[in-house]
Amino acid sequence: MITTSGLTKSFDLEGGSILALAPLDHRIEKGSFVSIVGPSGCGKSTFLRLIAGLEDASGGTVKLDTGSAKRPVGFVFQDAVLLPWKTVRDNIRFPLDTAGVRRDEGNRIVGELIDLVGLTGFEDALPKQLSGGMRQRAAIARALSDDPPILLMDEPFSAVDLLTRETLNDELLRIWQRTGKTILLVTHSVEEAAYLGSEVMVMSPRPGRLKKTYTVDLPHPRGEATKLDPAYHQLVAELRQDMRETE
Amino acid sequence: MLKRGIAGLVLIVALWGGGVFLFNVPDYLLPSPAAVMARMAFLYENANLLGHVYVTVMEIFWGFLLGFLAGILAALLFARFPVSERMSTPLILLLQTAPKIAIAPLLLLWLGLGPAPKIVLVAIVTFFPVMTGMLSGLRFVNKSYLDLARVLKLSPLQRFLHIELPSALPTLFAGATVATTLAMTAAVIGELMGANEGVGYLLSSGQENADTATVIGMVLLLSLMGWSFYELFEALRRRMEARFAEG
């Protein structure tokens, strides 16, 4: 469970400061898949970075109810952010190695993850030898490797071609259903938000704030049938309308 | 490329030899290539030429090693404690801007005619480019890698070993490559100022005896040594660039 109360962030600029995120009170249930949409400058990335502890809040609090997890969150960045001097395997096992997980245990986990994200045969490749989609898969596998209860994803598929994107979306849904993680996904695509989320947060800019939340009750497992479901199209249309109003 | 380079060298030697022969240039002005070669062979057999080369190489080796390690340590210190950089900048700049040829006599006064003052002089000139290369590498680590370190809650040591140090290797070795040519010059300046062994010593005794063939031979030998030293580090730098730089 993630609870924010009065969470706010302003950035100091020359001659003043801008409010990136107006005070935000929100509660995200454990095991939910929250899509966050909104135009540029709506504070959606800032919200994610505040939860991850990558930014210090200017006010308010974030509470992560993740028990004793030493690393409560995994983060998937917009660019994969793989370390270029490590192979795919070593990048994926980096969180394990730096947490002192035993070598054979690490090998087992990494082997499973490489299968899961479809990178079998590329274990010893360097990131620069991979396509953008493959790099992003490796980044997802890395974020999953030390099994964080919360997975934060900041526009992870924006640099990936459409077909790969749909494949990765379905893989992500599978992973979510299998692991029961809480996932927060920032995206520009209202279709992606509706297809993946159990909840959609719509944010609006100047200043960044939460405009609306939707509970999505499209049935699981989702797939091609979901994309034909009138309820899905209804939601996409409403989200698009919200986005237009926020411009 | 290599073939053309060799052809160019052969042409120059041919012009040199032909010119000396045609215009009947006296030996004390410009000896022929053959005379220089003969002189080198004579020095090899009778004056322990290889022993002198060994002395110079060792001065460069120890001085370079010392300056390289000191440069890295200083960069680490400066990156960790910026106040230490502000405190030592005047001293470093003073040492760096003083002409090496002016420092050499002082070092000879303090440390005698043996290898010690040459080693120190080489270390001084090596220090600066290595330190700045390492420091700029440490300062300009990709921000996303640091975000990753933060999400993974890496310890300062883990962050240094896995992220900062690998990131700094390309610029560190770019600095070291620049330092190779400076190191070579510094060793020879030290030997010219006062020594009883080394290639620079042979060169200055050649000058005292108006033995132009020895002087030219030593200059060519020093060029060859400096060039090899440079190429060695250039190759290392390229490897570091390929492995550790982004892209």
| ipTM value | 0.90
* Predicted local confidence at residue A161, as pLDDT: 82
Chain B contact set for A53 (CB, 8 A): 150-151
Give the pLDDT of residue A247: 66
CA distance A108 to B20: 75
Question: What is the rounded CA–CA span in Å between residue B247 and residue B241?
Answer: 10
Beta carbons of B151 and A85 less than 8 Å apart: no
- Residues above pLDDT 70, as percent of chain B: 99
Provide the pLDDT for residue B95: 84
* Beta-carbon separation of A53 and B246 below 8 A: no
pLDDT digits (tens, 9 = 90+) for B56-90: 999 999 999 999 999 999 999 999 898 888 888 88
Residue B125 in contact with residue B70, Cβ under 8 Å? Answer: no
* A215-240 residue pLDDT tens: 999 998 898 889 999 999 999 999 99
Percentage of chain A surpassing pLDDT 90?
55
Dist CA A82 CA A85 (whole Å): 9
Q: Round to whole Å and give the CA distance between B174 and B114.
A: 31
Q: How confident is the model at residue B54 (pLDDT cuts 50, 70, 90)?
A: very high
Mean pLDDT of the region B6-10: 91
Q: What is the pLDDT of residue A178?
A: 87
Looking at residue A68, its pLDDT comes to 77
Answer whether B152 touches A (CB < 8 Å).
yes
pLDDT of residue B247: 60
What are B81-91's pLDDT values in tens digits? Answer: 988 888 888 88
pLDDT in tens, A125-168: 999 999 888 899 899 999 999 889 999 999 998 877 888 888 88
What's the pLDDT tens digit per position in A111-124?
999 988 888 999 99
Spell out which residues of chain A touch residue B166, defining contact as CB-CB under 8 Å: 83, 85
Structure tokens at B213: 């063939």
Q: Give the confidence band of B235 by pLDDT, cuts at 50, 70, 90.
A: very high
- pLDDT for B99 equals 85
Average pLDDT (B210-226) is 94
Mean confidence (pLDDT) of chain B: 92
Contact A52 B144 (CB under 8 A): no
The answer on pLDDT for A92 being more than 80 is yes
Strand ranges for chain A from DSSP E:
2-13, 16-28, 33-37, 59-64, 73-76, 150-154, 182-186, 199-204, 209-215
Q: Give residue A207's pLDDT.
A: 86
Confidence band, pLDDT 50/70/90 cuts, at residue B98: confident
Pairwise CB contact (< 8 Å): B147 & A74: no
Rounded CA-CA distance B219/B215 in Å is 6
Query: In chain A, what are the domain boundaries?
Result: 2-72+149-246, 82-147
Task: Work out the number of other CB atoms within 10 angstroms of the CB of residue A117.
Answer: 23
Least CB–CB distance from B144: residue in A73, A81, A99: A81
pLDDT at B64: 98
Beta-carbon contacts below 8 Å between A and B? 47
What percentage of residues in chain A have a pLDDT greater than 70? 100
Indicate the average pLDDT of chain A: 90
Say if residues A131 and A96 touch (Cβ distance below 8 Å).
Answer: no
Q: Tell me phi and psi for residue A59, to 5 degrees.
A: -170, 165
Q: Is the minimum CB–CB distance between A83 and chain B shorter than 8 Å? A: yes
- Would you say domain A2-72+149-246 falls under CATH 1.20.1740.10? no
- B199, amino acid identity: V
Q: In 3D, which of A234, A204, A228 has the Cα closest to residue A216?
A: A234
Closest to A82 (Cα-Cα) out of A136, A11, A24, A154? A136
Q: Which site among B141, B142, B148, B167 would you substitute to test the A interface, given the most A Cβ atoms closer than 10 Å to its Cβ?
A: B148
